[in-house]
A and B are shown apart, each in its own frame.
Chain A
Amino acid sequence: MTAVSAFFYRKPKLRLGFLLSAPLLWLGLAYLGALAALFVTAFWHTDAFTGQVVVEWSLDNFKTLFTDAVYRTITFRTVGIAALVTVIDAVVAFPMAYAMAKLASPRAQRILVIAVMTPLWASYLVKAYAWRSMLSGNGALSWLSPGYGVTATIITLSYLWLPYMILPIYAGLDRLPDSLVDASGDLGARSLRTFRSVILPLTFPAIVAGSIFTFSLSLGDYIAVKIVGGTSQMLGNVVYDNIGAANNLPFAATVATVPVVIMLVYLAAVRRTGALDNL
């Protein structure tokens, strides 16, 4: 035992290799491998009669995705909804996070963090279901949305992901020294000017960090859409329907590459803001 321990102590590289081996095998091989396989499958197709996957390379699935008006509409609708949900959440979350981080006492801060965090973990499905009944014809909030559809989807998704925006912004504001805000005031800046020139630039990475979650979660959602979306579909629904009812896994894979590419482009674009260190 002692000899093994001493051997490992003298070889930090070996220790690092040991520590990394299992997580890397799991995530690197299993997860990245699965993602790579998904991308490969997107170029295959299914046999029209047997429904079996045929390993034959073609760009047909991508051609359908880009040329078929239905899928184009759904893609634009999905990205639009995800962007709008992100903006709504950022606008709603910022004042809430600001009150938590800058106005509340340390004791109240702890309580408020728990108060915001707890619903984040409460069942996703239950929350979506609650919105379905609240937005229904005789529901308490039916005036918010004309029946089920895009508006109801945006409201529900904004509600579901709001805590994901509040918490990173809260953490960002918590790190922002009060003295900077005070200094700006001492130099004669009014509240709005201080917000625009001091607070916003310094908390921007935190907002972007929050947006990664609100945007990504909205891009891939299909359950909330099924519950409150009425007839309007999002990309997730197309993926789901092609795996289940249509049994066309290759096409589902093709459609699923769209949110992946969008997210990877988004992650690459926001890397320089330092948002990824705020996750």
Chain B
Amino acid sequence: MRTSRALLWTALGLGLAVIYFPLVVVLLNSFNADTTFGFPPTRFTLEWWSRATSNEGALHALWTSVQAGLAATAIALVLGTMAAFALQRYRFFGRNPVSLLIILPIALPGIVTGIALNNAFRTILGIDLGLLTAIIAHATFCIVVVFNNVVARLRRMGGNLEEASMDLGATGFTTFRLVTFPMLRSALLAGGLLAFALSFDEIIVTTFTLGTGMETLPIWIYNNLFRPNQAPVVNVVAAVLVVASTVPVYLAQRLSGDTASGGRL
């Protein structure tokens, strides 16, 4: 029994080490004075970081990413919350297909979602790709994140307090404003943060739905990945992405311990 416990702990330790090793390599490398990706680095410098902060392409891409992320998150918050209320509070015909439909955009491979929307926009609807089409695509797969967070919270809080509020004479709107919404707030914030992080990191769907000549941060990295003279700046942007995407996850987990995965699954 003792050996099996030790083995399991070792497996966990090794697994986490493997998970974190590449991320540490990326972080270290952004300070690497050599321009080639070597491990472990021999000399360190802050030069790439200062160069990255004045790199127009990267900054422009960052701004596009933020716009897309904020807009997609806003849409996902509204639609995800509505769907969560409908599926958690009501039993109706077709409930299971509807919940499957919400999962589908992330359960199907990203390339399928990407090409389906690309085809719908260009061939069927005749809309030119731009920032708007990317936002629509991002919102589609962000809904599930908000949905999962809100559903978990609704399940945990039950309906007693709302009923009490109604018994005391409050209308539906008042109850929502003074009772339901305050209890949901942290779940909404967590869902919103995670939806933003998901949008911020998405590359496959973005490739197919963002207009030509536009770049989000992941697409900027991808476009510069194989250009040797850009390597140091790419390393810095990569390091920023690693750190930036971990913050919302940490915050979201602190805000709501509702779901183990943060609602992405």
Size bracket, chain A contacts = 35 or more
- A23 with B172: CB separation less than 8 A: no
B260 at the interface (CB under 8 A from A): yes
- Residue numbers in B under 8 Å from A249 (CB-CB): 119, 122-123
- B245 with A123: CB separation less than 8 A: yes
CA distance A140 to B24 in the complex (A): 13
- A240 with B261: CB separation less than 8 A: no
Q: B112-145: which residues lie under 8 A (CB-CB) from chain A?
A: 112-113, 115-120, 122-124, 136, 139-140, 143
B242 to chain A, nearest CB (A): 5
B197 at the interface (CB under 8 A from A): yes
B238 to chain A, nearest CB (A): 4
| Contact code string A16-59 (vs B, CB < 8 Å = 1, else 0) | 10011011101110111111011001000000000001000000
Other-chain contact of B116, A38, A116, A133 (Cβ < 8 Å): A38
- A219 with B109: CB separation less than 8 A: yes
Most chain-A Cβ atoms within 10 A of its Cβ — which of B80, B82, B140?
B82
CA distance A163 to B81 in the complex (A): 26
Chain B residues at the A interface, C-beta cutoff of 8 Å: 1, 4-5, 7-9, 11-12, 15-16, 18-20, 22-23, 25-26, 29, 37-39, 78-80, 82-83, 85-86, 90, 92, 98, 100-105, 107-113, 115-120, 122-124, 136, 139-140, 143, 166, 171-174, 194, 197-198, 201, 203-204, 207-208, 218, 221-222, 225, 234, 238, 241-242, 245-246, 248-250, 253, 257, 260-262, 264-265
CA distance A215 to B110 in the complex (A): 12
- A96 with B12: CB separation less than 8 A: yes
Other-chain contact of B112, A99, A113, A114, A259 (Cβ < 8 Å): A259
- Residue numbers in B under 8 Å from A199 (CB-CB): none
- B203 with A120: CB separation less than 8 A: no
Given contacts A30-B136, A99-B9, A124-B203, contact A129 B238 (CB under 8 A): yes
